[in-house]
Amino acid sequence: MRAVIVYESMYGNTHLVADAIGAGLGSTFDVQVVPVAQATPEILADASLVVVGGPTHIHGMSRAATRKAAVEGADKPGSLLELDPDAPGPGLREWFGSLGRYPAKAAAFDTRLHGPAAMTGQASKGIVIVPVNFALAGKCVVFRTAPDTLLAVYSHGQVSFQVDHVDEELREGWSVLVHGHAHPVTDERDIRRLEVRTRLTPWAGGARDVFVRITPSQISGRGI
Ligand SMILES: Cc1cc2nc3c(=O)[nH]c(=O)nc-3n(C[C@H](O)[C@H](O)[C@H](O)COP(=O)(O)O)c2cc1C
């Protein structure tokens, strides 16, 4: 009987768990532990058991943008994180999407800890701040991004937007903070109107065709 353990791992933890599960099943099964990229239909074909695991990223399976963030985290100067050799591979989410039907029994695991927030982490510690260039359209703030960015992942929900200006010579400055709801603009006519009205060109390179509109619910500011 064959068992295949499929893992996705950025920093090696899920890989270690997969190896441990493989070792545990070794007395009953002929075990193969493989990263997602090697979990081909041929490997799965005659398996009686398939066990699949991946890291928890933003309360779910990873996406291209969260894997990119994980790589950037490891690349930061002074970071103690090391990338797993198979980290650049595809994620489980994409793999599931391409998977055929197999008669094997299946089980899944992930890396999320269940417990008090102090143990599992706090959402507030995961706040992401990303610089954007923007325009105003009526009472709304508009910016553009690409579909595979963190901004696109978070482009639907409550956000805070801040714009600052500092004049060091005059020792003056101001800051405006907007709380509101972000939503991607999907209507083609609406997108054309925003393109013409705002002439918004992203400073960051590449095609950034996703328009995101922030509708303010609260605006505050201060100046010195
Ligand atoms: C972008 C990113 C998002 C994450 N989001 C969560 C999360 O929502 N909940 C959680 O418990 N852990 C989260 N984690 C922590 C990972 O699940 C944890 O680092 C895990 O050990 C990674 O497994 P790996 O070493 O196999 O990549 C996140 C890690 C990254 C890099």
Q: How far is the CA of 38 from the centre of ligand 1 (A)?
A: 22
Q: In the predicted model, is pLDDT for residue 215 greater than 90?
A: yes
Task: Supply the residue whose CA is at minimum distance from atom 20 of ligand 1.
Answer: 55
Cβ(59) – ligand 1 distance below 6 Å:
yes
Residue bearing the bigger pLDDT, 22 or 93: 22
CATH architecture of 135-223: Roll (2.30)
Picking from 76, 191, 188, 82, the residue whose alpha carbon sits closest to that of residue 142 is 191
Residue percentage of the chain with pLDDT more than 70: 92
CB atoms within 10 A of CB 143: 23
**Which of 178-217 are b and which e, b meaning 16 or more Cβ less than 10 Å from the residue's Cβ?**
bebebbebeeeeebeebeeebebebeeeeebebbbbbeee
Reported as a pLDDT band with limits 50, 70 and 90, residue 63 is: confident
Cβ(113) – ligand 1 distance below 6 Å:
yes
For the segment 58-77, the average pLDDT, to the nearest whole number, is 87
| 2-120: CATH number | 3.40.50.360
pLDDT digit string (tens) for 156-174?
777 889 898 988 889 899 9
| Residue type at 205 in one-letter notation | G
Residue-level pLDDT at 158? 74
Residue-level pLDDT at 134? 94
Atom nearest to 14 CA in ligand 1: 26
pLDDT digit string (tens) for 89-127?
899 989 988 887 777 888 888 776 666 544 554 334 445
Atom nearest to 66 CA in ligand 1: 1
Domain range summary for the chain, segments of one domain joined by +: 2-120, 135-223
Residue-level pLDDT at 88? 85
Please enumerate in sequence order all residues whose Cβ is within 8 A of that of 209, keeping only pairs 6 or more positions apart, or say none: 144, 146, 147
Residue-level pLDDT at 126? 47
Mean pLDDT of the chain: 86
